[in-house]
Structure 1
Amino acid sequence: MASIPVYRPRLTGNVTAYVNECLSSGWISSRGEFISKFESGFAEYVGAAEATSVANGTVALHLALVALGIGPGDEVIVPSLTYIASVNTILQAGATPIFVDSLETTLQLDPQAAHKAITPRTRAVMAVHLYGHPCAMDAIVGLCEEHGLLLIEDCAEAVGTLWKEQHVGTFGDAATFSFFGNKTVTTGEGGMVLAKDPIVMERCRHLKSQGVSKTREYWHDTLAYNYRMTNIQAAIGLAQLEIAESILERKKAIAESYRGALVGLPLRMHDPVGPVEHSFWMCSILVDDPSRRDPLREHLAGHGIETRPFFPPAHLMPHCRANISLPVAESISDRGINLPSYPDLTSEEIERISEAIASFYR
């Protein structure tokens, strides 16, 4: 019986044609027409004024932090339940991550916990839209406005995610996206940065290209980075953007199929809560009993079904350990499983996965 992976990208549409155009034209590095086309197309898709592409989602976060002027002495409030890149980039900028707990219902940053974590050194809040569900943006935006804090949105997993019909990434002072190979829109590796202030956006463009002068060749006027996306990556991204809606619709249908097939079992789906559009980057379940999570994963592996555990809380990692207890984040992490979620998953495969889960509990 064939194995079922957690994810496999859908590389259809114009991907091959656009990549071949890069190859035939010779524009394969960080210059070429597909870069500007992908940037403008992505900005239009999410409803932003402009966007700038980068090499991956991690450097997108670092670039946003640096362009906003966040550095040593600053504190950035961040949910502990996130992929480690959210935290590493805060540390790389020289700032201090302040870990807060999450909400059991949505898995997202708890706005009340963020409010309690504010100190005179707090400079920003990083809202991470985990697994395709948005954070409670009204509360988080209000919190930042009340206390004069910057808002950074980590939308790595949230292409197609909406809060009150507004695409995530358009609420904050800056926002970042990832186009890793398992993302809804992929470029293999790649990322995008948005910023509300045109000055910050221009700073992002300057810093991502080695701080090169606009008026003098090979003259660099600041310490900067090589964070640029290639034209080939952008070509893939543009083709992916053209089929993004069909991918999202299929992902929602897959989530609905899982929901129906798993009803009555001692677990719950990561369902949308509130005025949101959940993009289901990953179709996820949380088992009632954390002691059954790993045995269930082993059972599924025995049936040729790959799964992923939820991210471990960052405050427990060796290099950024904090002597605190965040019970909700820790509980969610211990109970969560990402199921196969790729758009070309068949109805038969969903049935096979669901039956394997049910058989574990029988």
Structure 2
Amino acid sequence: MTDIHPWQRGPRELLQFAITAYASPDEAGRRISFLLIDVCVETTLRTFLGLPVKISGSAKGYLDLKQYVNGKFHDLTKGIEAAAPGRISDNELHHLRFYHNVRNRLYHEGNGITIPEEHVRGYGTLAAKLLKELLEIDGHAMLPRAWKQADLTQVHSLDEMRRELERELDQFENAINAVMEKVAPKMVYPSTICRLKELADFSITTFGADLQSFRDLINKNLTDEKAREWLLNFLADDLSYDSPNVVSNSQLIMELAKNPTAFYSFLIGMQFIPLEEISMDTLDNWDDISFIQQDEYSILGIYESAKYLLEMLRDKRWLGMSETKLLERCKDLRDKLKTISPKVAGLHLPN
């Protein structure tokens, strides 16, 4: 494959290196392949955001995008949301963040982490989509045949499991909203929900003012004293002083409010139903807390993972995962919801 433009060469070569590493028949090859795909994805995002608008066709100008280009991975995905609406779906951006979080765990925990084959295939397939949509590189043509083939078995079982997952999600959402109504009834007022969603849709230029409005809303409406004081202390309050992690964590928490149930799940989980000892008492706002959106670490992670898996199944955008693996993932998240929902509903709280 010949590169037409010099900025295409690096990202394309990184994906090719990842595919070559995957051919190694051992766990080390999968880890190296996964890490190379992550570098390919990050390089692709930075390259696109740094291109002149005449070349990229971006919906935003260079000065608007400059603030994202040198940021962390989360900032890059925010930049893509702003610059390329419609090219990369919200579902795909969620998967990007999920796979990047797996990469962070691999960096921090080293050889103790096993990378499933479907993660490598899924991230690689998504990287190929980014190359095509953002840099006009036919990444799909580079993928091994095995990554492109779908498993045509167990269709009926998967459809049934999807319906079960929908039912468990409904029960979880009902339980979470009922608990929040009891703990802090003002937080579920329609006017409060509307305002939460507005503030969650901040931009880099409005973030400072929106953060202060978010703090004011929490101070006024989150009547549970422990949760209110913890959250206000956790959020940034001086952007000129707070560390980058404190700021990015605040952005993550505010963005949860795009779906109020996710925001409520974060608060209730941290206070009443911690997983893996991740709670209000152990979570540090100076650390990167994006891992809480993984289902191993919080009920928020279970909820968001189940929501996005359901969307993926409805859209039939499986990103390299076989139906067998999807069925296993559905069962895992269904069972986690079945375990968590009764705990949420059974919380003994003051009226």
TM over 0.5: no
TM-score (normalised: structure 1): 0.31
- Name the one with the larger helix percent: 2
TM-score (normalised: structure 2): 0.32
- Name the one with the larger strand percent: 1
